[in-house]
Every structure is written in structure tokens, then in C-alpha cells.
Amino acid sequence: MSLKDQITEDMKTAMRAKDSERLGTIRLLLAALKQKEVDERVVLDDAAVIAIVDKLVKQRKDSVAAFTQGGRTDLADKEASEIKMLEVYLPQRMSAEEVAAAVKAIVVELGAKGPGDMGKVMGAVKTQLAGKADMGQVSAAVKAALSGA
């Protein structure tokens, strides 16, 4: 079963359970998936679905930070619960050590030296670690690897 089919099944389960909070989050996710399919006239594979879920999680994290800074803990809590629901559809994340090791291997493979090669390294890293690691963490690891190279 594809990830998109799993999300649809989860929506049906949430409807049957009358879990309105979960249902709203899943509908939001399905709307984002459908929008991408319509805009680009493609059928999304699991990698594309993971990329969209990752984007939605990042948006929620930014919202949590903004709401917390603005003193709106009620809205921050709602966004945090949506993050938990969306993260169910993401693959297991890599640890910081695993990310650093993968980045170092890619830097060596590309022969990158210094901060000038950041774009080249990030392009390669994004294709290999998409959905498996937080890109903010990856970016920091690339900077560290290139400054030490």
C-alpha cells in the first residue's frame, strides 16, 4: 500500500472514530497532496508525499515558534499536536551522528573543499537524505564538514 493510500485509510478511520482533530489534519495533508498533483499534473510517489509532509511539518514548527513568541500557547499547542500527527507519515529520522557521517562521506565523494562548495554538496545531500533527516540539521553538518575540510 502506498503512503498516499495509507493516509486515505487513516482519514476514513478518523471519520469512523469521530476524531475531528486528527481528521482535520489528515484532510489538510490530503489537500496539499491533491494541490501538488493538480498543479504539476503528476501522480505522487511515496518520496514526493514524504517531501510534502516534511514541508508541512516545517511550517508547523515555524508556527509554533511564532505563536510561542506571541504568547499564544493555545495555538502553539494545536500546531504541536498537528506536528505529531504528521510525523507519523515520515520515515525514521537519522541521528545527528548519522547525518554527520553521511555528509562527510558525500563531501569526500565530491572532493568538496571549503564553503564555496556548499551548494554542490547540499544538492547531493538533499537527494540522498530527503525525508530521512531534518534539512536544518543537515545544513549545519555540511557547514561544519566544509569548514573542517
81 in the same domain as 53: yes
pLDDT for the residue numbered 104:
84
65 in the same domain as 10: yes
What's the CA gap between 126 and 135, in Å, rounded?
Answer: 8
107, 128 contact by CB (below 8 A): no
Q: What is the mean pLDDT of residues 75-84?
A: 95
Q: Of 40, 58, 87, at which residue does a domain stop?
A: 87
81 in the same domain as 8: yes
Q: Is the pTM of this model over 0.85?
A: no
Q: Of 87, 105, 138, at which residue does a domain stop?
A: 87
Pick the residue with more confidence: 92 or 114? 92
CATH number for position 139: 1.10.10.410
pLDDT for the residue numbered 21:
93
Number of domains present in the structure of the chain? 2
What's the CA gap between 19 and 52, in Å, rounded?
Answer: 23
What is the DSSP-derived secondary structure letter of residue 114? S
pLDDT for the residue numbered 32:
95
CATH number for position 72: 1.10.1510.10
pLDDT tens column, 29-62:
999 999 999 999 999 888 889 889 989 999 999 9
Please tell me whether residue 56 adopts helix, strand or coil conformation.
Answer: helix
Q: Which residue has the cell 531534518?
A: 134
